[in-house]
Amino acid sequence: MQRVPLREVPSSPVARTDFTVVFRDHFGYVWGTLRRLGVPARDLEDQAQQVFMAVHAHLDEYRDEYPLRPWLFGFAYRSASNYRRLARHRIERFGVVVEAVSGTQSAADQLIAREDLDTAELALQRLDLDRRAVLLLHEVDGNSVPEIARALEIPLNTAYSRLRLAREDFQLAYRRISRQRGGNESA
């Protein structure tokens, strides 16, 4: 009797890893990415669920020679992009966000840091989503431009161009917002 070889299992860490592990280890990253891409807090849970449903459906396509986070960012980016296209999401509602107070800084330093962060978040919101995605992947997540191009499925030169333009747009937006607020223009 001849033995039939078993189908070879790919050596990808994700292929050997349960979806539950990917979800548990990267949920916070996807959540934060969606928030930075402009999904309001009221819809983050639904959009994160959409992202992980897509990740689950395509997990067998992930190749371990590439980092997982840029791959996940691609799903979050497409989800945020689709979300923003819907007419019912074009009106933004502002709310008050309450955060824990840090005991390591003085109240004045905390206020300045919070204002700088708010200004940076507003400047990010003013960027075109395509440029914002490249800027976040590079400056916040620390990915190389070739990794970004692969994750967003865009040409390499387009990724470099978007990064350059995003940096310029961000600095301009930050300065404008700072001037309007009469504050610090350190970006």
Tell me which residue range forms the domain holding 31: 11-89
Which structure tokens are listed for 81?
A: 């992009």
Per-residue pLDDT reduced to its tens digit, 78-116: 999 889 887 454 555 445 444 544 556 667 666 667 787
Distance CA 102, CA 105 (A): 6
Q: What is the mean pLDDT of the chain?
A: 81
Note the pLDDT of residue 45: 94
- The band of 183, judged by pLDDT with boundaries at 50, 70 and 90, is low
81 assigned to some structural domain: yes
What radius of gyration do the chain's Cα atoms show? 20
Judgement on whether residues 112 and 84 belong to the same structural domain of the protein: no
97 assigned to some structural domain: no
Judgement on whether residues 126 and 167 belong to the same structural domain of the protein: yes
Which structure tokens are listed for 107?
A: 């109240």
6 assigned to some structural domain: no
Judgement on whether residues 35 and 68 belong to the same structural domain of the protein: yes
pLDDT above 70 covers a percentage of the chain that reads 74
Q: What are phi and psi of 120, to 5 degrees?
A: -65, -40
The crossing angle, in degrees rounded to 10, of helices 19-36 and 68-85 is 50
Give the Cβ contact number of residue 139 at 10 Å. 13
Distance CA 163, CA 143 (A): 12
187 assigned to some structural domain: no
Please tell me the total count of domains within the chain.
2
Note the pLDDT of residue 128: 92
> What CATH number is associated with residue 146?
1.10.10.10
Judgement on whether residues 81 and 109 belong to the same structural domain of the protein: no
Distance CA 129, CA 134 (A): 9
5 assigned to some structural domain: no
Which structure tokens are listed for 109?
A: 């330093």
71 assigned to some structural domain: yes
45 assigned to some structural domain: yes
Judgement on whether residues 72 and 141 belong to the same structural domain of the protein: no
Report the candidate in 160, 135, 130, 133 with the shortest Cα–Cα distance to residue 145: 160
Is 150 within 8 Å of 168 (Cβ atoms)? Answer: no
> What CATH number is associated with residue 36?
1.10.1740.10
pTM: 0.68
Report the candidate in 155, 151, 19, 13 with the shortest Cα–Cα distance to residue 72: 151
Tracing tokens 């960012």 back to the chain, one arrives at 73
Is 113 within 8 Å of 121 (Cβ atoms)? Answer: no
4 assigned to some structural domain: no
Q: What is the mean pLDDT of residues 11-17?
A: 45
Length of the chain: 187
**Of the candidates 57, 89, 121, which is a domain's last residue?**
89
List helix spans (H) across 1-144: 13-16, 19-36, 41-58, 68-85, 107-125, 129-135
